[in-house]
Amino acid sequence: MSPPRPHFLVLTYPLQGHIAPALRLARRLLAVAPDVLVTFSTTEAAHRRLFPATPEEADGPNGGRLEFHPFSDGTEGGYGGGGGGSDAAEFSAYVSSFHAAGPRSVGDLLDALASSRRGRPPVTRVVYTLMLPWAAGVARARDIPSALFWIQPAVVLAVYHRYFHGHAGAVAELSRRGDPSLAVELPGLPPLPVGDLPTFLTESTDPGHYFHPIFLTFRDLFDALDRETPKATVLVNSCQELEARGALEAVVLHDVLTVGPVLPTGDYETSMFKPDDGAKYMEWLDTKPARSVVYVSFGSLATMGREQLDELLLGLEDSGRPYLLVVRKDNKQAMLAELAEVEMGGERLKSGVAVEWCDQARVLSHAAVGCFVTHCGWNSVAESVASGVPMVGVPKVSEQSMNAWLFEREWRTGVRARVDGGGVLRAAELRRCVEEVMGDGPAAAEARRMAEKWKRVVAEAMGSGGSSYCNLLAFVVDGATSST
């Protein structure tokens, strides 16, 4: 009897930073094996934002191999109950609803896919991202194997793993001392400044903290991994060549496979945010010399106050370099008249342009871009590395400081900016950092050289026969044989 056709259900939390790598992984699964089928699923509200048209219209080139079916998070408005996540009680209520309604809805989806009469075979493996600790149990109840897709680097996975396996006390003790430079000694890992550890482990452990529900979710996630037998499978959105020494060996309790970094493919990148097509930013980049443009984006969740915006614009203008600045549409709306002067073509923007959203991967791969000022989210860092662009890091929350540690200390492709006591990046510091990675000095030359090196490394890992390609292919083959 021949094995069933591989059919992966890819589940993700409804944030753009989770949706993007999950959808890219879905398309990578299709690319490495021609017989693979994928069903992609996020919450109903996020699904509506991703696909204002029908899914078939929104993602037509896959010949029916990739389908989209949402699951319920128990709310009408989706993430944050439609309130934008500004209230801690509201956010906690949303997370509770997500964890209560999600398992039931995903279970119903798996059952529906198993009884489909359209000729599509049942799901043979479930793949889920960080915020779904219940997904493995839902799959196990139906005798379906599962795998966690860790959308951050392996060194961050190793830190979480060590924290939840006997080292929480050591991290807490160093955090209480108030010196972010104190080194944490975690078995198998290089010494890490406690201030660079994920903020969910150093700040969100307090029950009164806004992100405490995220800390609890990570705790439940690692508990769920420990319950998997014989070993949980964890796919990591990185390649083994990029990882800090000891990172992969530090998670021996699980079967860890590096399969990334997964990147956009073709013209079919799907986003909850729509590019600012009217801005003509690609045409503007075409007019600029090679490696001359500073690209600035702080991600899909970042908010920017007036003081920070003023300092940012002042530093960019004073740098004397052309720049492309992403300012979120909802940030603009919140600040109304205060941000009117930032509209593209306004007198404040003498050397650059501002857009509400752009195709970041296309921007970073453009020859004119010479530096990326980033919040250090892993998707952004991975895209920058894959494009060979040096970085200026301005990390804020989650694992962003660890990502900055990687590119500054391990890869030497950038520098981390210092913010003041209020968390504001001042104009002079921005100007200094941009010059350090884009100027004529030896530091800038080294950053460019190393950026080109790591660009080649990522291309080789993701190419046919590379480490990440082979790991993903092995995962597909294992999924097919384990379901027979």
Instruction: Give residues with Cβ within 8 angstroms of 229, minimum separation 6.
Output: none
Q: What single letter denotes the amino acid at residue 144?
A: I
- 397: closest CA among 199, 195, 143, 230? 199
Structural element, H or E, at residue 326: strand 323-326
Give, to the nearest 10 degrees, the angle between helix 212-227 and helix 88-114: 30
Tell me if residue 323 falls in helix, strand or coil.
Answer: strand
**Single-letter residue type at 265:** T
Cα–Cα dist 146/232, whole Å: 8
What sign results for the dihedral spanned by CA atoms 272, 275, 276, 278? negative
284 vs 345: CA distance, rounded Å: 12
Q: What is the rounded distance in angstroms from the CA atom of residue 413 to the CA atom of residue 76?
A: 43
Give yes or no: 47 in active site: no
Phi and psi at residue 68, in whole multiples of 5°?
A: -125, 120
DSSP string, 182-223: PEE--TTS--EEGGGS-HHHHTTTSTTSTTHHHHHHHHHHHH
Task: Specify which residues 9 forms β-bridges with.
Answer: 39, 126
Of the candidates 7, 18, 47, 366, the residue annotated as catalytic is 18
Residues marked active site are found at 18
